[in-house]
């Protein structure tokens, strides 16, 4: 095992803002793969930064190098505090906050189960209650938006995607991403710099959405005016045609 290479990579990661990656790096390299990915999540205020670092082996030098990393900024979306389909969204979110979802989605760990002792499966009852609440929300369009927002907020990084349903539309609205490459002799983009860049991308995305909405409204108004003017024109033509029609004289019989 090339300890010097691992030490150099650790220094590089620390200088970029990736903390406590040394042991994960060592474990992955011990399997001697051609390439591998390390994942990290960093809380940035109310936002989350998901990072995936891609390493590959330089066969000529027999060392591993950091080629690039993908950064995904997940913005916290404000949820509606309301009663939808009989579900109070604020209470549902409070229930989701109290659950350790990483543990809830752990279907591998084994432990003895005693169904007669309700206290041993109270956590599972709470999970079931939350799932029931999310299902009720999803029965309406407004509720679906809230349900997806809650899933994104509390289930981010969970591997059981079949439980998410279709979250793509809201996910696209709440995320921006960018890949940052590393070139020989260059320091590379740090985590803080990546966060600043993605924040700017997010603002740009919001401005484009507002511009699109404004343009759509203007087009709609123009179409209405166009239909109205064309309709009045036809009405004028119709009236003009009627006025030009000469009624035939009645014949007088003698």
pLDDT in tens, 27-67: 999 999 999 999 998 888 888 898 999 999 999 999 999 99
Q: 145-156: per-residue pLDDT in tens?
A: 888 888 878 887
Would the pLDDT of 110 be above 90?
no
pLDDT computed for residue 234 by the predictor = 42
Q: How far apart are CA 91 and CA 102, in angstroms?
A: 21
The mean per-residue pLDDT over the stretch 121-131 comes to 94
User: Has this prediction a pTM greater than 0.95?
Assistant: no
Q: What is the C-alpha R_g of the chain?
A: 31
The mean per-residue pLDDT over the stretch 109-113 comes to 85
Q: How far apart are CA 43 and CA 45, in angstroms?
A: 6
Would the pLDDT of 135 be above 90?
yes
Q: In this structure, what token pair is assigned to residue 139?
A: 């029965």
- Other CB atoms closer than 10 Å to residue 219's CB: what's the count? 10
Q: Is 132 helix (H, G, I), strand (E, B) or coil?
A: helix
- Other CB atoms closer than 10 Å to residue 36's CB: what's the count? 18
Q: For residue 39, what are the CA distances in angstroms to 20, 71, 197, 222?
A: 12, 10, 20, 50
Kindly indicate the confidence band of residue 249, based on its pLDDT and cuts at 50, 70 and 90. very low
121 or 215, which is more confident: 121
Helix axes 122-137, 89-97, angle to 10 degrees: 150
Would the pLDDT of 143 be above 70?
yes
Give percent of the chain with pLDDT exceeding 90.
46
């Amino acid at each position: 095992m090339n300890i010097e290479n691992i030490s150099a990579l650790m220094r590089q990661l620390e200088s970029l803002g990736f903390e406590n990656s040394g042991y994960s790096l060592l474990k992955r390299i011990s399997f001697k793969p051609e390439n591998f990915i390390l994942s990290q999540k960093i809380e940035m205020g109310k936002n989350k930064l998901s990072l995936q670092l891609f390493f590959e082996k330089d066969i000529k030098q027999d060392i591993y190098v950091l080629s690039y990393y993908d950064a995904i900024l997940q913005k916290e979306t404000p949820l509606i505090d309301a009663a939808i389909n009989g579900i109070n969204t604020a209470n549902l979110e409070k229930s989701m906050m109290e659950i350790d979802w990483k543990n809830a989605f752990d279907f591998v760990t084994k432990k003895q189960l005693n169904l007669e002792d309700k206290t041993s499966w109270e956590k599972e009852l709470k999970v079931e209650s939350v799932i029931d609440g999310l299902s009720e929300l999803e029965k309406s369009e407004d509720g679906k938006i809230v349900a997806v927002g809650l899933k994104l907020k509390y289930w981010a990084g969970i591997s059981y995607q079949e439980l998410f349903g279709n979250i793509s539309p809201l996910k696209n609205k709440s995320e921006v991403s960018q890949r940052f490459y590393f070139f020989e002799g260059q320091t590379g983009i740090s985590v803080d710099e990546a966060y600043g860049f993605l924040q700017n991308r997010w603002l740009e995305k919001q401005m484009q959405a507002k511009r699109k909405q404004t343009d759509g409204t203007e087009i709609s108004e123009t179409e209405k005016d166009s239909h109205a003017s064309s309709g009045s024109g036809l009405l004028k033509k119709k009236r003009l045609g009627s006025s030009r029609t000469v009624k035939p004289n009645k014949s007088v019989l003698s």
